[in-house]
Amino acid sequence: CPPVEPARGADFGLLVTEPPPFGLHDLRQAYQLTMELNIPAGLIVNRDGIGNFDIDAFCQEVGLPILMRRPLEKEIGQGIAQGKTLLDIHPEYAISLARVLGQKGQIQLCLVDSPGALKSLDAAIAIVTGLLQKAPDNNYAEELIRFLTAKANTLAFMRNYSDASRIYDRLIMNLKKDVQERPSPQAKIKLAQVYTNRGYIPTALTQKPSSIDYYDLAIGILEDLLDEEDFDPVVQSLII
């Protein structure tokens, strides 16, 4: 079968389908192929919003994650007819692509494909870094923090503690600056989370006193937040 050989040996199956019935028929076959070849997969829904919701039901049934939805737009069709790419037409889709790569990395890590996860996360980090260089944006900065944290966690899982520590320390430095400039509860919680992740590494290296120092820093931040009189109950539930 022609699709089998190109797929054999792939580290991930990025499936693309459309809502009409024939789209679901082809998706079932493609998904079955990834299962037979033991390839993790995710789905992009093209021309989302037309047809019915059978694709969503199928994905929920088999546990296939929907990584991205691209709506039907006349502007996209016209641009592609002129030889343009999707990112030429909608540059803002770059962040969606980065998120797809980030989700792919998380799936690969869950399946203990750490090298594959690192490649996906590095690609996501490169996209978001490029976006930030063109136009500083808080949403892009938050995505970069999320991808860097995922990369550090992956490195720690691979026992590459030195590289993981460097990323955690960089994140701590940047988040401390954010907390000083914009002391929001969300920024403080992120800093506490990174302190907690950073504390794992000395534990793994049997340097438990150092771990306790990091955990105490995280606990101190969270205790201060819980003591605030006007503290948001929603954010409080996140801490608990």
Predicted local distance difference test score (pLDDT) of residue 144: 92
Residue 70 sits at φ, ψ, to 5 deg, of -115, 115
CA distances 91 to 1, 5, 68, 108, 143, Å, are: 37, 34, 15, 27, 16
Predicted local distance difference test score (pLDDT) of residue 1: 52
Q: At what angle do helices 138-157 and 161-181 cross, to 10 degrees?
A: 150
184 CB burial (10 A radius; 0-12, 13-18, 19+): exposed
Contacting residues for 73 by C-beta, under 8 A, at least 6 apart = none
Predicted local distance difference test score (pLDDT) of residue 234: 52
- Neighbour tally for 176: CB within 10 Å: 14
pLDDT in tens, the chain (240 residues): 566 766 777 778 889 998 877 888 889 999 998 898 888 888 999 888 877 678 888 999 999 998 888 888 888 888 989 999 888 888 878 888 898 888 888 888 887 788 889 999 999 999 999 988 888 888 888 899 999 999 999 999 899 999 999 999 999 999 999 888 887 888 888 899 999 999 988 877 777 778 888 989 998 988 888 776 555 555 555 555
Predicted local distance difference test score (pLDDT) of residue 103: 85
Q: Where are the alpha helices (DSSP H) in the chain?
A: 4-7, 21-36, 54-62, 74-81, 86-89, 93-110, 114-134, 138-157, 161-181, 185-204, 208-227, 233-239
Beta strands in 63-184 (DSSP E): 66-71
65 touches 98 (CB < 8 A)? no
